[in-house]
Structure 1
């Protein structure tokens, strides 16, 4: 398997800068695509990576930001429309969404839950595998501690993707952190499985 994605899905400067990019993944793309999503009704952050055997590579990153003057139902409709367009362009095999957690602000928790519902429904309808992580799970997978800071996650995301700077605001790096956490956990599970299989075949 080649380690370099084809030109059609090569990340561009807009992705590196954390801006929305019109990159499109071809139907016959041989590499798995993982899309991380930091949900919200005012700002939804997303980050997509290409999973290579040598390590992940940035595909696209950005935000979906409905007009602030829209009502909540209108913002949710905008997010649904734009997120479905994103799914069609990036064609992820896995969508990783931040799992709901109890927040001190009840209204904020409700808004996040509404945004999550839109994303969950769209991802499932698209046919992607849907994975949900608590924020602490993603942090532990990337920085070794569930109490890690957003800045630490951003720095590790840049390091794993071979970037000098983190691609965009924290909404974007949180989303990339989710995608990278899936990649790290899946690679670790694969390594443990291979070790177990090799060990079981050893002569006694």
Structure 2
């Protein structure tokens, strides 16, 4: 199974691709998709959509996993993040990939062992679990962590949802 993990953001969206074979994980690629803050919102959303489509076309994942956005202190930031996440989901589903969704708590528990882990702990564990020579950037590490979470949960979720529809925490979303 080749998994694309996405850490959505309007300014920076992290992506990470790994292969999962049984309990073995192998790093494939990671990086960031950026948008120019000076551009109008529709242009930024289009850049994010196109960037994710390019990642899918380049790395050919068979599954995708994306982090679920929760409400931040600033409602405007939450709305913008939600729009970026919507663009990412649209790009992923337009390719026909099955998409699983995980909360930050689920991702951190799967990778670090507890849901209150900070970014540095996530980067450290991603580096260790994938035997990387150096830690990836924070956004790429979060995306790889999302892919790792799906690698651990994916076989179970696929058993529960053989049709391959979008999943949220083990529940199919129509």
Alignment TM class, shorter chain as reference = 0.7 to 0.9
* Deviation at residue 53 of structure 1 after TM alignment: 3.5
Which range is displaced more, 54-63 or 132-141? 54-63
- 3-state DSSP class of the match of 1:145? coil
1:106 alignment partner, one of 58, 61, 75: 75
Aligned to 1:183: 151
* Structure (1 or 2) with the greater strand fraction: 2
1:146 alignment partner, one of 96, 115, 130: 115
| Higher RCO (CA-CA < 8 Å; seq separation 6+) | 2
Aligned to 2:59: 90
> Which deviations, in whole Å up to 9, do the C-alpha atoms of 1:6-37 show, x marking residues without a partner?
xxxxxxxxxxxxxxxxxxxxxxxxxx210111
Residue correspondences, number: 158
**TM-score, normalised to structure 1's length?**
0.73
Q: Does 1:67 align with 2:67?
A: no
Aligned to 1:173: 141
**TM-score, normalised to structure 2's length?**
0.85
CA distance in 1, matches of 2:109, 2:53: 30
Aligned to 1:46: 15
Q: Residue 46 of structure 1 contacts residue 172 of structure 1 at CA under 8 Å; is this kept in 2?
A: yes
Q: Residue 33 of structure 1 contacts residue 94 of structure 1 at CA under 8 Å; is this kept in 2?
A: yes
Q: Residue 41 of structure 1 contacts residue 72 of structure 1 at CA under 8 Å; is this kept in 2?
A: no
Structure 1, gaps ≥5 residues long: 1-31, 191-204
Q: Residue 49 of structure 2 contacts residue 90 of structure 2 at CA under 8 Å; is this kept in 1?
A: no
Aligned to 2:48: 79
CA distance in 2, matches of 1:47, 1:148: 19
Structure 2, gaps ≥5 residues long: 159-174
1:124 alignment partner, one of 74, 89, 93: 93
Aligned to 1:56: 25
